[in-house]
Structure 1
Amino acid sequence: MSRPLHLFLFHGLGADGDDLAPISDLITERVALTDHHWQVHRPDAPVSPVSLNGGLPMPSWFDLIADNGGIEADRDSLAGITADLQQQVQDTVGDDPYILGGFSQGGVLANRLMLTLPRPPLAAVMLSTWLPAPEQIVRPTDGRDPAVFIGHGEHDNLIPVRAAGMVNAFLQDCGLSNVTEQHYPVEHGILPEELQDITEWLNDYLNKQGAR
């Protein structure tokens, strides 16, 4: 029996795991595996008050605060959910290979988990996301170098496209050498063209790694 290749996808603010079903469906349909089989995980964020939205409870991985016209992450809740998800991912995958991905808030978590989990993923996909509280991230010293796909909308009015370059630069400072950054003519969302690029990128990478 083949071993699983786990795919974790973390959704954005106010959504749920099903919001990213089109991504996981496309990956499992178009990225064929031989020695492994896909096992998809799309967890739901807890429902909690979000300061940015006047304290209205909604699915949110961590609190967001308006700050001088920008959006600031609450550092305590961000650190807490990162620790919770570290344990959840480790308990789920054991010693199986895995891939992380996320949109917006979920991309923040995919990035942190990729850099801080004791055993790194094969790859990570970060869409329309940013880099809050980088001082909390202990930079890896084990030489890990997973492939990373960063996608961002050129017209994103929530998270400016320059945030993609900041994530990219931080990852390279952490020693990652296989980072792909792509911009798309969209606001805070995902285009079919972007999904196509993700599946082609992942196919190419898994082929090179012999990790199917």
Structure 2
Amino acid sequence: MSFANRKDAGIRLAAALAGYRGKYPVVIALPRGGVVVAAEIAKALDAPLDLLFVQKIGVPFHSELAMGAIVDGREPTIVRNENVIRQARIRDGEFSAICKSQQAEMERRKRLYLGNRSGIPLTGRVVIVVDDGIATGSTVKAALKAIRKQQPQELVLAVPVAPAVSLEELEGDVDVLICLQAPIVFRAVGYFYDDFRQVSDAEVIAVLEANQG
């Protein structure tokens, strides 16, 4: 199975989540790619759409390799990947400096996308977390950990595609996990999309405005 684009993936996921329509869920997207997918789910379930900002903390000499993640909140949640940190020989001071830089970028994106709007309270709600796909799962795991602190009634993770091994590591962090494709052999998320072009800031803003209207 391949998806035409993120909108197509969102439509297919929405069908799998149809049972939540009467449960008044909140759909939480992980920007940027997850926003387009989540918008289709929010529309189908007649649910509000909100964002959770997560920044990957990459190794200095290999930014795509995550040595941790930071999640927005009153008290930002920081998740460390100790194995990567040890193997890359990253010192605490270096980790903290990169973390601070990523937090500043996260704040910039939050102001750009949401302005002064406050987030939707999640306590006691059914919360559906959506991304456009999972690779290692480190950023999603950090997001789920932060949301769990808000004590949702039910925490659901919904993604179009993820490697089977990553899903196994995330099962304990959610109440329900929905994934349309879970290959054992996994190359990259983009391999499962015909169109996986990068989502722009302008597109995120447009999607959010359309959802509010």
TM over 0.5: no
More helix by proportion, 1 or 2? 2
TM-score w.r.t. the length of structure 2 is 0.40
